[in-house]
Amino acid sequence: MMARLFLIPILLLSLFNPAFFEEIVAAKDQKYTLNNGASIPMVGFGTWQIQGADLIKQVLDDALAAGYRLIDSATLYGNEADIGKALKELLPKHNLSRKDIFITSKLSPADHGEKAYQALESSLKNLDSGYIDLYLIHWPASFALNASDPKNAELRDESWKQLVKGVKNGLTKSIGVSNYNVRHLKELLKNDHGIKPVVNQVEWHPNYHQNELLELCKKENILLQAYSSLGGTGNKNLLENAEIKKIADKLGKSPAQVLLRWSLQQNIAIIPKARSAKYIKQNIDLDFIIPNEDMEILNNFNQAKYIVNPNKKYIWNPDTVA
């Protein structure tokens, strides 16, 4: 009888919790099956501007402990070798093996064209991880050309051809793109040399998101992976926005969690970056539901009155690339 009485408050609390009505898979366990059959975690750990062996080891230790299983790196970030080294020590410490984690890296825009294959080999050598899970073309233009130079289209086509060879030779399991707009993506889909991109990693937050790009990705079964979900390093524009804070307070979550959950709730993958253990943990603790009325506010943010510079990108703009 006593045991039953204890159950009543729990049941009442559950009824006020939106999670009671919708099934939530814990963010750390959410996976997506890519168009080539490979499985990718929906929440990953971003590492841009995280450099130096000690810092890398510390943040990856915290990230693996918190449940992250995807690490997002790039040749440009200059941290592939330190990530590779840290994982050699950390995987056994966390009872994990290579197959339990997903490593993304990216082709430097300095390596477009025929050099792309060698660049992929070099990333793999740096990471020393046996294979890379996902290799992305970081940026649709080459650093050797002006963004508006039409030769960029030829170069990225050649890069893709080289990365396709990389998949066939087992260097990377999957390939994708980053910062491709609708035009760049349609061009690649017309001539994909036998392998379709599995992911398009783009800037994506309530103040900058493009429905046309999302629709194209959904139609082609290309996973959209959001970067700079919090507005990017040092930018408090979103994190301190009054409307976002209001939603966060109402839900008993932080603004960062609301920004991340907003993407995840739309089946958009996320790769937040943080240095402190507190933020690292918080950014994968996303097992709550944003009610429809608040999703609506966030969805319309980029046209709305809530923000000083509506529809503003914080990072680089691929629309300038021919």
Tokens of 32: 């997506």
Q: How many CB atoms lie within 10 A of CB 292?
A: 10
Distance of alpha carbon 261 from alpha carbon 249, whole angstroms: 14
Tokens of 14: 């559950």
State yes or no: 138 annotated in a binding site: yes
Q: Which DSSP category does 135 fall into?
A: E
Least distance (Å) between residue 10 CB and ligand NAP:
29
Distance of alpha carbon 290 from alpha carbon 293, whole angstroms: 8
Q: Catalytic residues, which ones?
A: 77
Q: How many CB atoms lie within 10 A of CB 320?
A: 12
Distance of alpha carbon 316 from alpha carbon 178, whole angstroms: 11
Distance of alpha carbon 204 from alpha carbon 183, whole angstroms: 17
Least distance (Å) between residue 169 CB and ligand NAP:
24
Least distance (Å) between residue 99 CB and ligand NAP:
22
Which chain residues interact with ligand NAP by CB under 6 A?
46-48, 72, 138, 178-179, 201, 227-234, 239, 254, 256, 271-276, 279, 282-283, 315
Which of 126, 196, 147, 206 lies closest to 167 in space, CA to CA? Answer: 196
Least distance (Å) between residue 199 CB and ligand NAP:
10
What does the DSSP assignment read for 257-311?
A: HHHHHHHHTTT-EE----SSHHHHHHTT---S---HHHHHHHHTGGGSTTSSSTT
H or E element, residue 173: strand 172-178
Amino acid type, 169: N
Residue whose tokens read 């599995």? 198
Quick one: 114 or 240, whose CB is closer to ligand NAP? 240
Contacts of 279 (CB under 8 A, 6+ apart): 256
Point out the residue whose Cβ comes nearest to ligand NAP: 46
Contacts of 292 (CB under 8 A, 6+ apart): none
Quick one: 178 or 181, whose CB is closer to ligand NAP? 178
Residue ranges of the annotated binding site are 138
Residue ranges of the annotated binding site for substrate are 138
